[in-house]
Amino acid sequence: MSRLKDFPSIHDRIHTGYGNALHSLYEIGRNLSDKERQEVIARVRAKGYRVEELEFYEYAPTDTMRHLFVRMEGEAESIPYFMLDKECWNEIVDALLVVHTSLS
């Protein structure tokens, strides 16, 4: 993850290497299809993390309030991404970027 800081925010804009566009991690994740999101989850689970679901939200009335919740296997409540341990979050970020760049 050399392009990103130690614990990146979902709002951090990154250059993914294609064109001149910058995308936030939120935009990358939100724009994945269900199948692609499941691929991200499978990659993270293969690393030993119990991620079951990634939930991307935009709160009305504006689209500037965005958040990502992560549901862990066997847990009743989802947790905000920033409450994950650093290693788990970094695996999710890496998987998001791998799946996103494979689409380009």
- 4: in domain: no
Nearest CA to 56 out of 87, 31, 19 is that of: 31
- 79: in domain: yes
CB 4 within 8 A of CB 97: no
12-31 tens-digit pLDDT: 777 666 666 788 888 899 99
**In total, how many domains does the chain have?**
1
Residue 93 tokens read as 């970020």
- 6: in domain: no
Tell me the residue range of the domain where 55 lies.
13-103
- 95: in domain: yes
28-75 tens-digit pLDDT: 999 999 999 999 999 999 999 999 999 998 877 666 678 899 999 999
- 30: in domain: yes
- 28: in domain: yes
Q: Residue 19 has what pLDDT?
A: 64
